[in-house]
A and B are shown apart, each in its own frame.
Chain A
């Protein structure tokens, strides 16, 4: 009962008890004036009730703000994209493989941006999912408690490093290192930012899937040990399958992060829309395109300006899909145990 602080609670008890007793007595002895010292004014009780009700609605309004944020996002993205789709047909948007909004003869096919996004987040997940899961299994099933308690804050620090710093890392440290192995690698490529984003989302996958594995009841582990399972088999055949929906949710939520990551790619992948699945080339992603246009001076109402909202809408829908799947998987997992 760490939160029960005696000296803090005591005055309240005394005051409250006095109030209750006084309320009771002053009813009985109304008009006698014997208990004036303990008498509690109805104004006080009324004010208390009003404060209570007002507070309730204020808090509710605060909770509703988050809904308005979503409505705002959807409204802005839809209304600005509608202007865009008046000029560019939806068919051109989803079927053309060239994205050159800033040219004199602009083309608007979303595929080059999608391919960049997919390659970068694919590399990131290829790094982060296996490494993150191994680390989560180690932390949840093998590591002694004191090791776990030291490691988790360090992972949190890794998560707290600003993305622009990771961008520096990708451009000026990882790319030169990779160029030693692949001499033909250009200065702007998708491989380096992909690897760096992988390291960036690793702590996220680890902490979410470790939470999921730790939530598996100990009885299941003990049952497995009783049947003669080794620690390894308990982890791989009992704990991981039992936590699989939580682990899947972790991977999907991490994917949503990788898809939405902006600065690392904007700094290290070159911002040139390029329809390719070759990680050795530079490319633009949906997010870096938005950065590129807002860095320049596309005017409000120009087609390039409107196109960032269409790109943003695609990004929002993609991450919304991942987030919803992740949300329901995690909820199902929580209900299971």
Chain B
């Protein structure tokens, strides 16, 4: 008799237990939504604060077409955005071919041995090395050992090394997602490994590879620390030589060896001044920088979305 009474009591407590559990479900879900809300609110607060603070300079068209200046209200970002584009060109030209080739090798060619293991651990560690350590590498190796100076080329090289792991990892992931039938079909028809890769695997993996490259470049665009470390924080009120010349070869590589400044460096240098007026310029530069990275990220998300829906 005792046991039946127990069971009856049990049934009642099950119901209350279920209610309690249901409320816990709701609690953790709403906690999650709350955190999400905080994260998004932070992003919005950040952007709105920047936009409001920087508005006086953002609305001034001369901000985009004039050089930095000692007078806060005349300072502009011309040399910074031109420098950013030039450095990004160098970074993309170096990191994308290298990263895609390395990713392709690791995913398709490398056999399972200690050397491959070593490269894999190494790539995953490099992805986590703080960016400033890359700056120290560039300072010690490029600047002092090789005797290069603080140029567009050196900055592009550092940033290329910095984003190499991102491109390698995304290349590998997009190659891994290609069905092996494609590979087998090509081999079955007598294609060599290289033909299979160059004609089928890489084109099929292209959306993923491009997405990874854009994400990597959008990270490089905002990197400040390694560029400060190579000693490139200076007052640049001129543009590098134009890459296109009116004379015979028409293409000019003088810009590679020119001193430069980039957007995040310009923003940092304004931010570290005591005058509040420079903080307005810093906020405006921040808005331009965020718009640049957001546009790149949005492009990457769009490419991935389109590739997935196909």
Residues of A bordering B, CB below 8 Å: 1-4, 8-9, 12-13, 16-17, 19-20, 48-49, 51-52, 55-56, 58-60, 62-67, 69-70, 72-73, 76-77, 79-80, 131, 134-135, 137-139, 142-143, 151, 153-158, 160-169, 171-173, 199, 202-203, 230-233, 235, 253, 256-257, 259-263, 266-267, 287, 290-291, 294-295, 300, 308-309, 312, 315-316, 319-320, 322-324, 326-327
What CA separation (Å) do A324 and B268 show in the bound complex? 32
Q: Are B141 and A76 in contact (CB under 8 A)?
A: yes
Q: Are A138 and B29 in contact (CB under 8 A)?
A: yes
What 5 A-B pairs come out closest when comparing CB atoms?
A138-B32, A260-B130, A162-B222, A230-B21, A62-B101
What CA separation (Å) do A156 and B104 show in the bound complex? 25
What CA separation (Å) do A182 and B286 show in the bound complex? 28
What CA separation (Å) do A320 and B125 show in the bound complex? 7
Q: Are A66 and B122 in contact (CB under 8 A)?
A: yes
Which of B115-167 touch A at CB < 8 Å? Answer: 118-119, 121-137, 139-141, 144-145, 161, 164-165
Which A residues touch B233, using CB under 8 A? 295
* 11 A–B pairs (Cβ distance < 8 Å), ordered by A: A3-B179, A60-B105, A69-B137, A134-B32, A138-B28, A138-B36, A151-B36, A157-B297, A164-B286, A199-B39, A290-B135
What CA separation (Å) do A76 and B132 show in the bound complex? 13
CB distance from A150 to the nearest CB of B (A): 10
CB distance from B148 to the nearest CB of A (A): 13
Q: Are A165 and B290 in contact (CB under 8 A)?
A: yes
CB distance from B84 to the nearest CB of A (A): 11
Asked if B114 lies at the interface with its beta carbon under 8 angstroms from chain A, I say no
What CA separation (Å) do A260 and B218 show in the bound complex? 19
Q: Are A235 and B105 in contact (CB under 8 A)?
A: no
Tell me which of B131, B132, B267 has the highest count of chain A C-beta atoms within 10 A of its own C-beta. B132
Q: Are A73 and B21 in contact (CB under 8 A)?
A: no
User: Which residue of A48, A58, A138, A323 contacts B128 across the interface (Cβ within 8 Å)?
Assistant: A323
Q: Are B98 and A62 in contact (CB under 8 A)?
A: yes
CB distance from A282 to the nearest CB of B (A): 14
CB distance from B81 to the nearest CB of A (A): 14
A76-B141, A155-B39, A230-B21 known; A164-B130 Cβ under 8 A: no
Which A residues touch B282, using CB under 8 A? 168
> Which of B68-76, B183-191, B235-243 lines the interface with chain A?
B183-191
Q: Which residue of A lies closest to B31 (CB)?
A: A134
Asked if B82 lies at the interface with its beta carbon under 8 angstroms from chain A, I say no
Q: Are A263 and B224 in contact (CB under 8 A)?
A: yes
Q: Which residue of A lies closest to B198 (CB)?
A: A55
Q: Are B128 and A256 in contact (CB under 8 A)?
A: yes
Q: Are A63 and B141 in contact (CB under 8 A)?
A: no
Which B residues touch A151, using CB under 8 A? 36
User: Which residue of A70, A134, A266, A316 contacts B35 across the interface (Cβ within 8 Å)?
Assistant: A134
Asked if B244 lies at the interface with its beta carbon under 8 angstroms from chain A, I say no
Which B residues touch A199, using CB under 8 A? 39, 42
Asked if B253 lies at the interface with its beta carbon under 8 angstroms from chain A, I say no
User: Which residue of A8, A76, A156, A168 contacts B137 across the interface (Cβ within 8 Å)?
Assistant: A76
A63-B102, A70-B126 known; 7 other A-B pairs, CB under 8 Å? Answer: A19-B190, A151-B36, A153-B297, A165-B46, A172-B283, A230-B18, A294-B139
Which A residues touch B168, using CB under 8 A? 66
A16-B189, A164-B222, A168-B283 known; A67-B101 Cβ under 8 A: no
CB distance from B229 to the nearest CB of A (A): 5
Q: Are A137 and B28 in contact (CB under 8 A)?
A: yes
Which of B217-260 touch A at CB < 8 Å? Answer: 218-219, 221-225, 228-231, 233
Which B residues touch A135, using CB under 8 A? 32, 35-36, 39
Which A residues touch B290, using CB under 8 A? 161-162, 165
What CA separation (Å) do A41 and B130 show in the bound complex? 54
Q: Are A327 and B125 in contact (CB under 8 A)?
A: yes
User: Which residue of A267, A287, A290, A327 contacts B124 across the interface (Cβ within 8 Å)?
Assistant: A327
What CA separation (Å) do A158 and B126 show in the bound complex? 22
User: Which residue of A12, A253, A320 contacts B186 across the interface (Cβ within 8 Å)?
Assistant: A12
A66-B168, A164-B264, A312-B136 known; A9-B228 Cβ under 8 A: no
Which B residues touch A64, using CB under 8 A? 119
Q: Are A65 and B36 in contact (CB under 8 A)?
A: no
Q: Are B286 and A67 in contact (CB under 8 A)?
A: no
CB distance from A233 to the nearest CB of B (A): 7
What CA separation (Å) do A19 and B192 show in the bound complex? 13
Which B residues touch A158, using CB under 8 A? 39, 42-43
Q: Are B132 and A63 in contact (CB under 8 A)?
A: no
Which B residues touch A143, using CB under 8 A? 32
Which B residues touch A261, using CB under 8 A? 130
User: Which residue of B35, B190, B293 contacts A162 across the interface (Cβ within 8 Å)?
Assistant: B293
Q: Which residue of B lies closest to A58 (CB)?
A: B101
Which B residues touch A308, using CB under 8 A? 136
Q: Which residue of B lies closest to A14 (CB)?
A: B189
User: Which residue of A70, A257, A267, A294 contacts B271 across the interface (Cβ within 8 Å)?
Assistant: A267
Asked if B25 lies at the interface with its beta carbon under 8 angstroms from chain A, I say yes
User: Which residue of A80, A232, A267 contacts B24 across the interface (Cβ within 8 Å)?
Assistant: A232
Which B residues touch A263, using CB under 8 A? 224-225, 264, 268
